[in-house]
Amino acid sequence: MEGKQFSSPRSATNTPLQTRYQRRDSQLSPAPTKPSMAAVEPHAFASSPSPTSTDALPPPSPVAAAGARKRKAPAATARKPRKQQAQEPIQISVYYGHRKEFYLVGGDDLVDCSYISPREKDCARVVGELPLQPQLMSLVDLQLWIFNLFRLHPETQDLAFKGFLKQRTTDMCDDFEPDWYLEYYPWENRDFYTDKCWRAFANKLKRRRNVTQKFMLYVESSEIKHHAILLKAVHDDYSHMARIVLPGTKCLSTFKYRFIRLVEDLAMTPNDIIAYLAKHYGEQMSPPEAWRARQKALEREFGTFYDSHNLAPRLLKDMASENHRVFVDIKDAEVPGCSGFRVLHRIFWVFDQCSQAFHHCRPVLCIKGMPLCGKYHGVLLTAVALDANDCSIPVACAVVEGETKESWMWFLRNLERAVWHEFAVCIIHDYKREMIHAIEDFLNSSQRQWPKAESRWCMEHLADNFSAYFGDKKLVMMFKKLCQQRRVNKFVKIWKELDELTTKYTADKELAAQSPCNQPNSLEYEAEGDHADDNNRKITKFSDWINMKPMEKWSLAHDRKGARYGIMGTDITDVYKNDPVLKGITCLPLSVIVEVTFLRLVECFKNTSAAANEAIGNPAVNFPEHVQVDMNSKMQKSRMHRVIRIDTDTGKNFHGKVVWRFKVQSRQKTEVVHLNSEDTPNTNKFERSTIRESATCSCNKPQLLHKPCSHVIAVCCQIGVSTATYMSLYYSLTYLGRTWSGKFDESKISLDYRYRYIVPFEDKITTWIPDKRLERGLPSFLTSDRLETVAEEAEQQRSTGDGSAEDNQVATTCAEEPNQI
């Protein structure tokens, strides 16, 4: 019977249902322990007949047959190893730019479900490729992946993202359901607060049998909403920076620090922040983490660096339209194919109150540039005037891409249009090649609006260049003394002494360089590119270095007509650290620079004007405080002088100019003083001519400083004339009060401008975006105490040549120079 079952036609043609039940019975029934001989013999020998008789063969042993069967079984049933299927990367849709608030965006707001309610999508998307095993990624890895996908700056502080997932499991009974039935399933919202939250979501992204699923991400930041526009704004040769993790930073965009102190005191350095947080909150952190906490606090309080490029022009234009007392000039470029978007390159602004204040200040403008230390490269250019008390007034401000000849020319032309003075204006600037060439072209231009202008160099910056050649501190101090010297005879004496000392210094330096123990790897202060060119001349002494530089540009004794009013540049060297208006603003977003300068000017004008009016109303005060201190010192010194009048009767008359001459003797010297009285015709023919009084002295101080020296004061006391007669009006209390008399209307600036919602894809309103090529590398600390650890790691990174971050290892990059636009 069993043999018939194997060969039965019916058994060979079983129905599928019978086959299923037979397979189930075979799985459920236990395996036979010993096969029967009747079932083995026909199949074992019928297929291979023996040439001899079957009687000669020994009878087969049931045990042996069974054993042979068992030995062949593993070879017959052994399966070949499965061929490992190649894993494919996961393609995931990443949506961005929805008009709703981030926490209100749901999955149905991103995907257009035409089966339910057809509508237009309010957002855009890109398709990204996750790694083969996304569940192994940390939250930091996911953020870096998003940075690379959207070409974001690694210091992006406002990045937020979440995931959406829908899936259904099918079996044999669900074959009738169509594929689009999954659209009716609700989206599951997943917020990624920790690595565990992300990995739980990533584990569901694996391909599984009988599981149909859809998944997507939604990301939001101020820069991502204009992602498509930014790609059109940059050139094809643009390459974004390596995305890295700051040292000691566990998460790239999550920080809990929002302390008022970090925003109010803008001059705090990373070390100050560390000490403050450790003292008040017990938080221990590294300098990069402290700097990031500061940046996070600034962006939460004032808005992001990206949005500030759009808010700053809007704020200034609103103030100009409402107040009509703000001069604004913007240089931008339209994004190809996007008429409503423009790349902001430069912005210039002048408040009319500051421009009017300059009319009553000495006609001297100190222009200076300071690099921004925010998210983008740039330079803050300022023109600063000084009042009678030597208090600085920021007359004009601008933000440009860098200090180039073109950018300085653009700044000077706008400065000439917005600021005016009745006398010749002296421009004091740094000793830099770009500035020198720009100012020379500006002064020689036939289209200049100022009647006359002069240029002088800042003593402090020129001294830095001097130190590059002669690094001895004593020599630097002697050079500054030479620059400020007013007497020509003393000037010549110091010059000769400098020649001798610098010759000796250079000889000693060359002798030390020839020593095998002191072979330098590179020349000290090799970066001479920021300074003017010295034609690669060999410099062995001071005269070799200074001879090609005009003396009127740097020497007070040779200042023609006293154009610089004794201002050597020392007052503006640290203007960005000490000035109450400009202090610490270079770390702020662009729109906040405008806002903070305006609000500080309001406060500064209010306080200084009140103090000036109080001094004017006090009859015991004759001059501003700073001038009064100087005059008291000179008055005390003048008591030691002896005055001898040369012209006994009347002064000599030279072409309508009356001159009185006096000889003033001191303990060691004798000076000659001339008191001049000249009729100056008035421009109005119906008014009388005015008499202009002036004084000169052989000590050269009145001619250079425009105020009396101790010798002139001694003469005035002798003849009974007020010393104020021979002092410039720019040092008077009257002009000090007029300088700060401007009134600011605080209501003209609305502080809610930062919270006005801007539609990401609205083309009807002009939207300004930053130049993505000006993104700054990491880290950038333009503070007094630079981070040595970060600099060392950056140097090590450059030496290894590896610019990527692996396994979240600490890595940094140094700041790159801005590209020229």
* Range from 21-35, 370-384, 489-503 carrying the lowest mean pLDDT: 21-35
In a domain, 620, yes or no: no
What DSSP line would sit under 524-540, residue for residue? TT---TTS---TT----
Report how far apart the first and last C-alpha atoms of the chain are (Å, whole number). Answer: 96
Residue 755's pLDDT band, with cuts at 50, 70 and 90, is low
Nearest Cα neighbor of 495 from 450, 435, 549, 568 is 549
- How confident is the model at residue 651, as a pLDDT? 55
In a domain, 128, yes or no: yes
Residue 739's pLDDT band, with cuts at 50, 70 and 90, is very high
**Given a cut of 60, is residue 49 above it in pLDDT?**
no
- pLDDT tens for each residue of 683-701: 555 555 556 788 999 999 9
Q: Tokens 């707001």 correspond to what residue?
A: 109
- How confident is the model at residue 539, as a pLDDT? 86
- Domain of residue 492, residue span: 459-505+537-550
- How confident is the model at residue 775, as a pLDDT? 85
- How confident is the model at residue 16, as a pLDDT? 40
**Given a cut of 50, is residue 265 above it in pLDDT?**
yes
Residue 642's pLDDT band, with cuts at 50, 70 and 90, is very high
In a domain, 421, yes or no: yes
**CA–CA separation, 453 and 419 (whole Å):** 13
**CA–CA separation, 811 and 804 (whole Å):** 8
Percent of the chain with pLDDT over 70: 70
Residue 58's pLDDT band, with cuts at 50, 70 and 90, is very low
**Same domain membership, residue 594 and residue 449:** yes
In a domain, 681, yes or no: yes
**Given a cut of 50, is residue 33 above it in pLDDT?**
no
- How confident is the model at residue 19, as a pLDDT? 44
Residue 778's pLDDT band, with cuts at 50, 70 and 90, is low
* Beta strands 338-351 and 326-335, pairing class: antiparallel
- How confident is the model at residue 713, as a pLDDT? 94
Residue 535's pLDDT band, with cuts at 50, 70 and 90, is low
**Same domain membership, residue 580 and residue 657:** no
**Given a cut of 60, is residue 818 above it in pLDDT?**
no
Token pair belonging to 420: 């005016």
In a domain, 287, yes or no: no
How distant, in Å, are the alpha carbons of 3, 7, 18, 39, 617 from that of 26?
A: 18, 19, 12, 17, 116
**Given a cut of 90, is residue 737 above it in pLDDT?**
yes
**Given a cut of 80, is residue 769 above it in pLDDT?**
yes
**Same domain membership, residue 644 and residue 600:** no
**Same domain membership, residue 207 and residue 110:** yes
- Count of structural domains within the chain: 5
**Given a cut of 50, is residue 808 above it in pLDDT?**
no
Residue where a domain terminates, one of 231, 259, 291:
231
Residue 45's pLDDT band, with cuts at 50, 70 and 90, is very low
Mean pLDDT of the 546-570 span: 92
Of 520 and 634, more confident: 634
**Same domain membership, residue 582 and residue 451:** yes
Residue 213's pLDDT band, with cuts at 50, 70 and 90, is confident
In a domain, 31, yes or no: yes
Mean pLDDT of the 657-675 span: 87
Mean pLDDT of the 419-426 span: 89
What DSSP line would sit under 562-627, residue for residue? GTTTT--SHHHHTHHHH-TTTTTGGGS-HHHHHHHHHHHHHHHHHHHHHHHHHHHT-TT--S-HHH
Q: Which of 57-71, 78-92, 656-670 has the highest mean pLDDT?
A: 656-670
- How confident is the model at residue 225, as a pLDDT? 87
- How confident is the model at residue 5, as a pLDDT? 35
Mean pLDDT of the 82-109 span: 80
**Same domain membership, residue 465 and residue 448:** no
**Same domain membership, residue 490 and residue 418:** no
* Range from 69-83, 109-123, 453-467 carrying the lowest mean pLDDT: 69-83
Token pair belonging to 387: 């009042």
- How confident is the model at residue 531, as a pLDDT? 43
**Given a cut of 60, is residue 411 above it in pLDDT?**
yes
In a domain, 558, yes or no: no
**Same domain membership, residue 466 and residue 444:** no
In a domain, 64, yes or no: no
Residue where a domain terminates, one of 208, 231, 254:
231
Mean pLDDT of the 591-595 span: 92
**Same domain membership, residue 472 and residue 451:** no
**Same domain membership, residue 472 and residue 381:** no
Residue where a domain terminates, one of 708, 731, 754:
731
Q: Are 712 and 703 in contact (CB under 8 A)?
A: no
Q: Tokens 């007497």 correspond to what residue?
A: 487
**Same domain membership, residue 463 and residue 402:** no
Q: Count of alpha carbons within 13 Å of 256, Cβ hemisphere only?
A: 5
- How confident is the model at residue 821, as a pLDDT? 28
769 - beta bridge partners? Answer: 343
Token pair belonging to 511: 């002798």
**Same domain membership, residue 448 and residue 377:** yes
Backbone angles phi, psi at 307, to 5 degrees: -65, -25
Report the mean per-residue pLDDT for the chain. 76
